[in-house]
């Protein structure tokens, strides 16, 4: 598996994966468009892709201006191979290389993604838990304290 920075040429494959996922599926696919990926990659965001046997099978995009994980998705059939964790760690390394403020994301409550994030150390957001019925769960990640 190769992890490398995402480029604008990767956007069609990233978007196909985003639309194909089984969990955290877009209820309204028009809410996330290829132009949204392009704007983040050209602006305050940075993305990474996972390549297996020449195929893009996962991606993650983080946004420095909002300090959030905007997307982390692995293609169906490639889950459980450590791809998501490698992409996750790339994004957090980058975000915390820019500053120590907490990072945040939203995910579907009760999903495999929620379990993945909690195992990785994400916690309920202190100020805005986002636990409204039918809504996404907001989680935060705090940088590790090297002195602890």
What does DSSP assign to residue 43?
A: T
| Residue 142 contacts residue 107 (beta carbons within 8 Å) | no
Please write the tens of the pLDDT for every residue from 14-61.
999 999 988 877 778 888 999 999 999 999 999 999 999 999 999 999
Q: Which class does domain 2-141 fall in?
A: alpha beta
What is the predicted pLDDT for the residue at 144? 67
For the chain, the first-to-last Cα distance in angstroms comes to: 33
Please write the tens of the pLDDT for every residue from 78-122.
999 999 999 999 999 999 999 999 999 998 888 999 999 999 999
Determine the Cα–Cα distance for residues 15 and 59; give it in Å rounded to an integer: 10
Global pTM value: 0.89
Q: Which helix (H) or strand (E) covers residue 40, if one does?
A: helix 34-42
- How is the chain split into domains, by residue range? 2-141
Mean pLDDT in residue range 63-89: 96
| Residue 62 contacts residue 95 (beta carbons within 8 Å) | yes
Paired tokens of 132 = 């409204």
């Amino acid at each position: 598996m190769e992890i490398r920075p995402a480029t604008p040429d990767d956007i069609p494959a990233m978007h196909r994966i985003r639309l194909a996922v089984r969990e955290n599926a877009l209820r309204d696919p028009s809410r996330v468009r290829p132009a949204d990926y392009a704007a983040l990659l050209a602006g305050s965001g940075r993305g990474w892709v996972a390549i297996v046997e020449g195929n893009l099978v996962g991606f993650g995009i983080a946004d420095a201006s909002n300090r959030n994980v905007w997307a982390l998705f692995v293609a169906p059939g490639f889950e459980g191979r450590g791809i998501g964790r490698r992409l996750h760690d790339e994004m957090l390394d980058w975000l915390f290389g820019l500053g120590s403020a907490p990072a945040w994301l939203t995910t579907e409550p009760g999903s495999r993604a929620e379990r993945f994030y909690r195992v990785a150390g994400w916690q309920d957001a202190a100020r805005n838990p986002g636990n409204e019925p039918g809504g996404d769960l907001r989680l935060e990640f705090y940088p590790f304290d090297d002195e602890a």
